[in-house]
Amino acid sequence: MKVLLLTSAIAIASSSLGNASPSNESPRVGTDVVINEMNVGRPGILSEVDHEIHVSMLETEDGRMVFSPSSLTLKAGNTVRFLIENHGELTHEFILDRPEINALHKQLMASRSETHFGENAITLAPGKTGELIWKFTDEGTLEFACLIAGHYESGMFGQIAVN
């Protein structure tokens, strides 16, 4: 299985993606997609969490794939612990990034089947749960999305407004 390492600006490889390890190893530039510094946040730590938000990932009877909730408004400076549950029958991901970066990443993923991990991403098999902790440092707009081929197009994305 190939794995795409996300950490938060963008260097897209022109070659195929290599295997990445979830350790503290540096990603291999030129073989992985690496996302470095976001304008509106950074990974948070558990001891600084201001509140928790439960997010469900699922497919609907009409074939859509969705997050619930589908949009959020948060305050700059807050640290949020996202408790993410996959209630669907398919594997889904929760990738937190700027909309324009997710759009570039989605194009890259159109012909690939990697799964994601990193400080701003989690992939969950059906019935599994996980968490992502994020500190929203500045005002702006972020997007959470599932970039597995076809999932975004089926409605699996949402917006976070940071005020």
In the chain, where are the structural domains located?
Answer: 40-162
If one counts every other C-beta atom within 10 angstroms of the C-beta of residue 153, the result is 11
Which tens digits make up the pLDDT trace of 35-55?
445 567 999 999 999 999 999
- CATH class as words, domain 40-162: mainly beta
Placement of tokens 């305050």 in the chain: 75
Residue 103's Cβ-side half-sphere holds a number of Cα atoms within 13 Å equal to: 4
Residue 78 CA, chain-centre distance (Å), reads 18
Phi, psi torsion values for 126, nearest 5 degrees: -55, 135
Question: For the chain, first and last CA: distance in Å?
Answer: 39
Q: Residue 115: its pLDDT value, please?
A: 58
The answer to which of 3-7, 82-86, 104-108, 139-143 has the lowest mean pLDDT is 3-7
CA–CA dist 102, 107 (Å, integer): 9
Q: Would you state the structure tokens that stand for residue 158, as one six-digit string? A: 């949402």
Instruction: Please tell me the pTM assigned to this model.
Output: 0.74
Phi, psi torsion values for 104, nearest 5 degrees: -65, -45
Which tens digits make up the pLDDT trace of 78-110?
999 999 999 999 999 999 999 998 888 777 766
CA–CA dist 95, 81 (Å, integer): 14
Q: Would you state the structure tokens that stand for residue 25, as one six-digit string? A: 């190893």
Residues 123-149 have a mean pLDDT of 94
Share above pLDDT 70 across residues of the chain, in percent, rounded to a whole number: 71
**Ramachandran class of 82: left when φ > 0, alpha when ψ lies in -120 to 50, beta otherwise:** beta
Q: Is residue 128 within a helix (H) or strand (E), and if so which, with residue range?
A: none
Q: Which amino acid is at 99?
A: P
